[in-house]
Structures are given as C-alpha cells and as structure tokens.
Structure 1
Amino acid sequence: MLEVNGNTKIYVLLGNPIAQTLSPAMYNAAFRALQENRLYIACKVEEDGLEEAVKGLKALGIMGGNVTVPFKEKIIPFLDGISEESRLIGAVNTLYCREGELWGTNTDGAGFLKALKKVDPRGVEGRRVLMLGAGGSARAVAVTLAMAGAKEINIINRTLSKAQEIMEIVYGLDCRGQALGWDDKSIKEAVQESDFIINTTSLGMVPRVEEMPPLNPDWFRPSQWVIDLIYKPKETLFLREARIKGCQTLNGLGMLLEQGVLAFEQWSGLKPPVEVMARELERWV
C-alpha cells in the first residue's frame, strides 16, 4: 500500500465526469512498482470552476497531471504555455512543470502512433489513412500522422465543416486528402484505397456494442489495418467485421497505454514501468 504523508508528491486528473477513468489505477500502480512516494488522484471540476482549479494547482505546488473531457481545449488560456503539438491540435491532455510554470502538451496522437508502430513498424509514412469522425481524438491523430509523413489523410464526418477544419491543419503539414460526408459517393473508393481505416467515433462503445460506423464491410481488403480507438469492448463490431474480412485489426488499449506512458514521463520525470501499467489497464478493461 502507498503511504501518504507530508512528503508525498501529488499529481491530478482534471475532468467531468471522472468516475470511469483508469488513470489513477494505472499511475498509482506505476508509483508502487517504483517505490515512489507519489500519488495520482482524479478531481471532478465543474464547468465554471476550471480557472480556479488551475490557480489552485499552482498555489498548492501541484505541477503535473492530466486533463480530460470537457477541458482539453478550455484549459489552454489558463496555462502558462503549451507545446507546439498542442497548438496544432488545439487541445491539451497533459500538464507539466517547465521552469516553475504550468505548461500543457498533448500525447494522444503520439501515443496512437507508438501503439501502431508496435504492431506495424513501417508506420504511416507514404501510406493512405481514412479517419471516421472529427472530434478531439481525430484531430490529435490526424495532426500526428500528417507530421509522421502520411501520404494522404481523408476524414469522414457527419458534420462536414468539422472534418474540413482538421483538413486545413493537415494541408498545412504538406499532406493531401479531403473531408467527406457520410453520404459522399466517393466513400467506397476511399475505403478501398486506404492502408489504415481508423474509427475515432464512439459507435460500438459499451453499452451500445451493437453499433458500428456505417461502412460496408465488403469494401475492406485483407491487406488493410482497421483500427478502433474504443477499448471497451476490446473487439467492437467494427473490428469483428474487419477481422472476418481478413483485415489486421487493433483496438484502442495500446493508444490508452502509450499516451499514458508518454504523459507519465513528461510530468514525473521517471522512467515508466510500462509492463506494470499495461497489466493494470488489462485488469480493469
């Protein structure tokens, strides 16, 4: 058991809701394994209390942790600075101390790419990507993959303007592609020509496990990677259909782990016990 005393260093997660988060379990398991007198806690913050919460962190000397929905974008004005990745993505998921100031960065996209390279070391350089959805996770992944040399990134989203917003950033990173609506006649071609198809929507997540993005599985081909950022269930209906068609599949658990590992390194300055963190996540998922 971790003993909390006057010398315990504290790190926090700011969000609302926070009941579902696995971050405290993962990070505190890491501290125990390293025999570090540190503690990670989740703090529920009301919508109108974010600025005061950040001021409180600084006043208490808590200079590290994470940010989750709905504050990844809203917290930026209250920080002393943000990384270039966060500026491009427009969101922060990690807080850390930089020369006595509270800064933010984003490890979501880098965590995704690290998880992907563990199963396909080639990565995305020179390859085509199709993304489903245009929320915060899609933005982080799209920016990272464009920076990693993806040949083409296409984004399908119900609200076309949101996909177009992300594509403007992608174009600025010298990557081609287009925004598509779900009724676009070129979707079939986009699916068939892609090397990676990535679902960033919540379709198929517990408890709505019978749902999946409205793509025809017959369009898949065996050489493709079909990826779902969802990790509960471990195999969504979307991934199951892709597996049946002979595709290589990957769920979101690896991204969850790797973005957490990168965040841990950033705000703790410690070498993460990756296997311990992975086992703890597996225990809860």
Structure 2
Amino acid sequence: MNFSEQGGITGSTRILGIIGWPVEHSLSPFMQNAALRQLGLDWVYVPFPVAPELLGQAVAGLRALNVAGFNVTIPHKSSIIPYLDALSPEASLIGAVNTVKREEDRLVGYNTDCTGFISSLRRDLGLEPEGARVVVVGAGGAARAAVTGLCQESVSSLLLVNRTEERGEELIRRVRTEFPHIQLRSASLRSLQDGDVLASADLIVNTTSIGMGGSSFSGFDLSSMKSGGGVYDMVYVPAETPLLAAARGLGLKTANGLGMLAAQGEAALRLWTGAEIPADCMKKALLSMLDGGY
C-alpha cells in the first residue's frame, strides 16, 4: 500500500510549505498536495503565515526543523535572499526567490516562475518564444520573471511598457547586461496606443493585476496585431479578462496565468522530490477547485 492509498501523516512524512503574509489565499497547498497524492509520496505541503518582521526567525525555524523545501510568496520574494545560503542563476538575475530547497545543510533559493511561464506559453498558447517579437506590460516581480525567461529562450526583441517608464528602463538595463544580443527597450504605457507597436508583435504579455475583477486597459487596441499572434494574461481570476476576451474576439490565441501557476509549482515539486510530475496534474486540480467556487 502506498501513501496515497493509506492517507494521513506518518512518522516519516517529509514537510513542504509556503511562506507569505497573508498566505490564506494561496492555491499552492491544494495543487501541491493533489500532486503528492497522485505520486503516492509520504510528503505534505502546508501554509506558513509569516509576518515581515519575523521572516529571519521563520527561515531559521524552517532550517532547524529540517523542512525539505518551501515556496515564497508576497512580500518575502526579495527580502528572503539575505537569509539563504545560495541562489540559482535565475533567482540571482531576477532578484527574487519563489522556491527554496534544502540541499544537505544549505538553503538554496530558486525562481521557477521563469520556467513556469515559458512552459505555459508552449502548453497553453502553443507559442515557441525563440525569435518572437514580444511586448511585456508591467515592470514588477512577475515581469522580471517573464522577461528573464523570454530572453533565455532567445526572443528576437522585447519591448517593456509600464506606467512609470523609469522603472521599466531600470529592469531593461539589468537584463541587457546578460542578454546583449537581444533588442531590448522600454516605453510608457501610452505607447500601446500606437498601432505600429502592436502590429509587429507576435506576443503580448500582461504581468500586471489589471484585469482582476473585470477591470480593463484603456487605450489598448489589439486590432492591429497580425493573425496568429498571442495574448497572455497572468491574471487567472476571472478566467477570461477583458483583455483576453478582446483578443479572442479578434481571432488571436489567448491564455491566462493559471497554467503558469501550475507549471511553476510542478517545477518546484520536481526540484524538491526529484520525481517526474504528471503533465497538467496541478492545473487539473486548480481547475477543479476554481470550478467549485473557491
């Protein structure tokens, strides 16, 4: 009898988790435990609410308790870095950690948002990023992960647009040092009103929270995008934002961020357990949960 059949916690159960403040909204415990059950592993994934002023103590406690690994969410993705022993190249470049793995006596920080985003582009949008011309909206942590992942996949060009152009330029300068062969530039959000900007794009990625609760972009006209182009919105509630609805109405390929959430979770679980994660098992669990009115 494997663990998924016997159920419950044993004396040998390995512990995973997620730290954040707040953390009650997180979907990660649901999808990670669903995958652990499917794999039949004697592991469990639990939420740890950690206030910002207690972050150092919390990391020390997780280290002392021999926790196998944990995810990191807002507001700790950058502030956790001084408490870790090492960073992966992606986490170092992005300046943010969303996954921590115990490696012998060290805690190593990773960022699986990069691989999660690229995996979702391929699975959910059917788009191969190599050689693509991309417009990314936003300059926050999600944008840093998306831009890094896209550059690692050798996009042809990338335009970053943000309300505060200076913040966008700061991100572009940071990435340009690692990817000098890619055409990278930033512009204000107003530049999206220029039809030529979108006419040359193969892919538009929204990394902002615009779209949650049905809010929509103003002055964002997708009609100039060429046939076969794709629009990716990291917002996943609602499942179809006004941006995605407009894109679908124009015959463009569309995908929301649920696939990215699932894929980054798969990458994290693979890091921790070394197991091969069944394709889409986490996304199916998430869809089931959201369909149930979560």
**Same fold, TM-score > 0.5, yes or no:** yes
| 1:61 counterpart residue number | 66
For 1:219-261, what per-residue CA distance to the aligned partner results, in whole angstroms no more than 9, with x for missing partners? 3333210110111111111000011111111111111111110
- Tell me the SS of whatever aligns to 1:254: helix
Judging changes above 3 Å, is the alpha-carbon distance between structure 1 residues 122 and 236 closer, same or farther for their aligned structure 2 residues? Answer: closer
Q: Which amino acid aligns with 1:230?
A: V
Judging changes above 3 Å, is the alpha-carbon distance between structure 1 residues 163 and 34 closer, same or farther for their aligned structure 2 residues? Answer: same
More deviation, 77-86/222-231: 222-231
Q: Which amino acid aligns with 1:144?
A: G
- Tell me the SS of whatever aligns to 2:22: coil
Q: 2:89 aligns with which of 75, 78, 84?
A: 84
The reply on whether 1:138 has 2:143 as its aligned counterpart is yes
**1:280 and 1:93 mapped to 2: Cα distance?**
21
The reply on whether 1:203 has 2:210 as its aligned counterpart is yes
| 1:284 counterpart residue number | 289
| 1:178 counterpart residue number | 185
**2:193 and 2:176 mapped to 1: Cα distance?**
20
Which structure 1 residue ranges, 5 or more long, are not aligned? none
Judging changes above 3 Å, is the alpha-carbon distance between structure 1 residues 255 and 185 closer, same or farther for their aligned structure 2 residues? Answer: closer
**1:164 and 1:158 mapped to 2: Cα distance?**
11
TM score, norm. by length of structure 2: 0.91
Aligned partners of 2:125 and 2:230 also within 8 Å: no
Q: 1:191 aligns with which of 194, 198, 219?
A: 198
Aligned partners of 2:193 and 2:221 also within 8 Å: no
**1:243 and 1:46 mapped to 2: Cα distance?**
41
Residue 272 of structure 1, CA deviation: 1.6
Residue 123 of structure 1, CA deviation: 1.4
**1:276 and 1:124 mapped to 2: Cα distance?**
24
Judging changes above 3 Å, is the alpha-carbon distance between structure 1 residues 215 and 267 closer, same or farther for their aligned structure 2 residues? Answer: same
Q: 1:112 aligns with which of 113, 117, 126?
A: 117
Q: Which amino acid aligns with 2:224?
A: W
Residue 273 of structure 1, CA deviation: 3.0
Q: Which amino acid aligns with 1:68?
A: T
- Tell me the SS of whatever aligns to 2:136: strand
Q: 1:36 aligns with which of 24, 37, 41?
A: 41
**2:56 and 2:11 mapped to 1: Cα distance?**
26
**1:113 and 1:91 mapped to 2: Cα distance?**
17
Q: Which amino acid aligns with 1:244?
A: G
- Tell me the SS of whatever aligns to 2:184: coil
- Tell me the SS of whatever aligns to 1:222: coil
For 1:50-95, what per-residue CA distance to the aligned partner results, in whole angstroms no more than 9, with x for missing partners? 0110000111001302001111111011001110010111100011
Q: 1:157 aligns with which of 158, 162, 165?
A: 162
Q: How many residues align?
A: 283
Aligned partners of 2:88 and 2:109 also within 8 Å: yes
Q: Which amino acid aligns with 1:181?
A: S
Residue 5 of structure 1, CA deviation: 2.8
- Tell me the SS of whatever aligns to 1:204: strand
Q: Which amino acid aligns with 1:85?
A: E
Residue 120 of structure 1, CA deviation: 5.7
Residue 277 of structure 1, CA deviation: 1.9
Aligned partners of 1:154 and 1:180 also within 8 Å: yes
Judging changes above 3 Å, is the alpha-carbon distance between structure 1 residues 75 and 130 closer, same or farther for their aligned structure 2 residues? Answer: same
Residue 25 of structure 1, CA deviation: 0.7
Residue 185 of structure 1, CA deviation: 7.8
Residue 178 of structure 1, CA deviation: 1.3
**2:32 and 2:171 mapped to 1: Cα distance?**
31
Aligned partners of 1:213 and 1:238 also within 8 Å: no
- Tell me the SS of whatever aligns to 1:177: strand
More deviation, 265-274/177-186: 177-186
Coordinate RMSD, CA, aligned = 1.7
- Report % sequence identity: 36
| 2:3 counterpart residue number | none
For 1:154-199, what per-residue CA distance to the aligned partner results, in whole angstroms no more than 9, with x for missing partners? 0110111211122113322121121111234874322111110011
Q: Within 5 A, what are the aligned runs for 1:235-254?
A: 235-254=240-259
- Tell me the SS of whatever aligns to 1:11: strand
TM score, norm. by length of structure 1: 0.94
Q: Which amino acid aligns with 2:272?
A: W
